[in-house]
Structure 1
Amino acid sequence: MQLIIISGLSGSGKSVALKVLEDGGFYCIDNLPTPFLPQIASYLQADGHDKLAISVDVRGGPSIDAVPQQLDALRAQGVDVRLLFLEAKTETLVKRFSETRRRHPLAMSSLTVTEAIALEREMLASVGDFAHRIDTSDLNSNTLRNWVKTVVDMDQSRLTLIVESFGFKHGIPLDADLVFDVRSLPNPHYVPDLKPLTGRDQPVVDFLKAQTEVCAMYDDIESYIARWLPSFVRDNRSYLTVAIGCTGGQHRSVYFAEQLGKRFSNEQQVIVRHRELA
């Protein structure tokens, strides 16, 4: 059985992710109390279901803390378990609740929406540490759907290296494990012919490859990842997200993400993402 557990902050897109999996043939359950995870998985597996997706979050109460142990027990039974954790910036979540006029599940008379979100982050901290995290702050629904599909298709028995480009002016991705800053390098944005292009276009690639500083920083970042990646593999990590940031997330960071993705694709499962281009 393949079991996808979807968790994360309220308003971060869990319903979108669950719908993607439902469309992909998964038997989906929303807001299942976590103590019932093992029983539901066993029952549905015995009933002939081999693809199951369950959403668990703070609506289920304090039992959410037991999720990591329950997932370990399910894996020991041979279930292919994957934990997907969605999150977003506080200001983004506040805006979403305001636009939809929905009530935060932890909002009480004594708590503002911002305070409820902070409390929810604290309650879910132990779950997020074991998951593949996706920051949905700057993602539209179509991009999130594609990212979820990609995660489901990965081989869970191997580490997945995610290389993500982003623009600092839009904030650092919340799902980043390692962050590298390439803003000090020559910027194609100031070359008129290159400004409308991206780091995936050959003229931009040629421009950056011709810069001594770009080559030196690439070598440093590549060497760092190559040296320390085995330690993450030994630590039984399922995912490692390396974020590369420039000012706008269009040229330099995209170039670095593409090059690093090609470099490590023969050694690990690699996903290359471009947050601002998405």
Structure 2
Amino acid sequence: MLVTGMSGAGKSSVLDALEDMGWDTVDNLPVDLLDDFVHAGTECRVVPVAIGMDARSRGFDADRLPGVIRGMEGVHPEILYLDCSGAELIRRYDETRRRHPLAPDRPAEDGIARERRVTAGLRAAADGVLDTTDLSPAELRDELRRRYGDDSDQPVLTMVSFGFARGVSRTADLVFDLRFLPNPHWVDELRPMTGDDPPVRDYLAADPSWNEALDRIESLLKDWIPRYWAAGKSYVTVAFGCTGGRHRSVAAAIEMTERLRSAGFSPNVRHRDLASPPSDTIEADPRQEA
């Protein structure tokens, strides 16, 4: 796919988003190197390729490019033209303080007008036109996922367990404190076990607060996770914390992973402190917790 159009319309942002979706991308590739780049390594794998070209690219010829792209062997070509209103382009150039490539010694509006004329034929030949005037970066990425993504492009969702006594999880977007629940560490037969063991999970499930808390957290996550993704986050990490990070938080992370998978999500699960040995020093007295 040739990603082209008006300078300042978001070509770099589009290429970054496509790269995150698994495309091979390159920006401002000289036209003479186009064929070599597209076919390099094709004996090993076949991947979608996005090439950014505009007035700054060496050898850029708006009238010639459609024929070059569509004349390449062994590819399914597509041209995506990025457009944007003149007023918004001027505002972007003012903000970045960059000079327009077609008007280095003139006002940006002169270069914008000239580029619009030069690329009119390229716009007409494009398979798709994407107007970025009113799109935020997150909205632009969402539109690209809608057009070119698939199920494998879903952002990464991770459930994490940790112990507050060993430090709060620094990677979490959301943290849930489970120290209000009874601590299995203070039950002799459960102390050497972890939240991955059925007896510990049964012990926690016997407390009415357990299912009530997880039901509310599940409802919240099912509502909020898609909102994080819509805002453009590639990673969402949900952390569950207890005192030592071996019982309550582990059980909660595992159960929430199961619940979200049943709801159609694909979370990973990671236990930060599960390998830590049980310790009365680390675990607070049950009368003093939380």
The alignment's TM-score, normalised by the length of structure 1, stands at 0.50
TM-score normalised over the length of structure 2:
0.48
Please say which structure displays the higher CA radius of gyration: 2
